[in-house]
Amino acid sequence: MTKKELVFLGPPASGKGTQTSRLSQELNFPHVDTGSLLRKALAEGTPDGLIAKSYIEKGQLVPVEIVASIIKTRLKEADCANGFILDGFPRSTEQAEILEKMLSEIDADKDVSFKVIYFDIDQQLLLDRIIYRRSCAKCGKIYNLQSLKPQCEGLCDECCSELVQRKDDTEEIAKSRFDTYFTETAPLIEFYEKKGVLTKIDANGEVEEVWDRLLEAVK
């Protein structure tokens, strides 16, 4: 059986989180999301979480050793054996090279399909999306106060828990996250294009339209 590895690239608030969570259920592969793993470490007050805190609060990349170690531990877990959806890693060429090495070790003699899906989106929309984004404190489902409102104000449709705003979803930190994305992460588009593993999808439009394009891309 071929192991299916899907890596997602795209600017903050490009819709990756919403689509990849749904894809994880559709394909029955775990959704490995570095932002969530780091926020979990931070909430639990682990040593890695404490170091990560100041970088997350400034919208900068957390030191590579910390992220790489969290990701490696996660990708070695049994539920990733047949495939995974990787969201938020790599975020720099250095991280991409680390991932390549890590996977060659983890996959050893496995038959693997490795694809990178890039969410190509109009940048004008993104800052608003970030400022109006809310997520469920319990199950993580993502909403938008303008375009994807919950049925009851302030509460998750799925589990009725409180909706919260991420601390780094303010205008000031979001601007810094975009700077980080364009300087550190965007060069990965060319990096993966040259390797012939990149698929671009148009991430503009309604959630359902993007979903259909995504399903087509991961076939």
Residues lying near ligand AMP in the complex (CB under 6 A) are found at: 12, 34-35, 38, 55-56, 59-62, 67, 88-89, 91, 95, 168, 177
* DSSP-assigned beta bridge partners for residue 33: 87
For ligand AMP, the closer CB: 2 or 69: 69
Is residue 91 part of the annotated active site? The answer reads: yes
Q: How far apart are CA 10 and CA 3, in angstroms?
A: 23
133 catalytic? Reply is yes
Least Cβ distance, residue 194 to ligand AMP (angstroms): 21
| Residue 147, both tokens | 């375009």
Output the smallest distance, CB 205 to ligand AMP, in A: 21
Q: Which is nearer to ligand AMP, 94 or 158 (CB)?
A: 94
For residue 202, report the phi and psi dihedrals to the nearest 5 degrees: -75, 115
Token couple for 40? 């979990």
**Smallest gap from residue 19 Cβ to ligand AMP (A):** 13
**39 noted as active-site residue:** no
- Choose, from 16, 39, 74, 213, the residue flagged as catalytic: 16
Task: Catalytic residue, from 4, 53, 166, 200: name it.
Answer: 166
Task: Give whichever of 11 and 150 is closer to ligand AMP, judged by the CB atom.
Answer: 11
Contacts of 154 (CB under 8 A, 6+ apart): 162, 163
Is 16 marked active-site? yes
Residue 59: both structure tokens together:
């919208």
Dist. CA 93–CA 200, nearest whole Å: 18
Q: Which is nearer to ligand AMP, 59 or 83 (CB)?
A: 59
Which of 66/82 has CB closer to ligand AMP? Answer: 66
Residues contacting 113, CB < 8 A, separation 6+: 2, 3, 4, 5
Q: Which residue has the tokens 């969530």?
A: 36
Whether omega for the bond prior to residue 90 falls within 30 degrees of 0, making it cis, is yes
The single residue of 74, 129, 133, 141 carrying the catalytic annotation is 133
Contact 87, 32 (CB under 8 A): yes
Residue 135 Cβ vs ligand AMP, minimum distance, rounded to whole Å:
10
**Residue closest to ligand AMP (Cβ):** 35
Residue 166: active-site member: yes
Which residues are known to be catalytic? 16, 91, 133, 166, 177
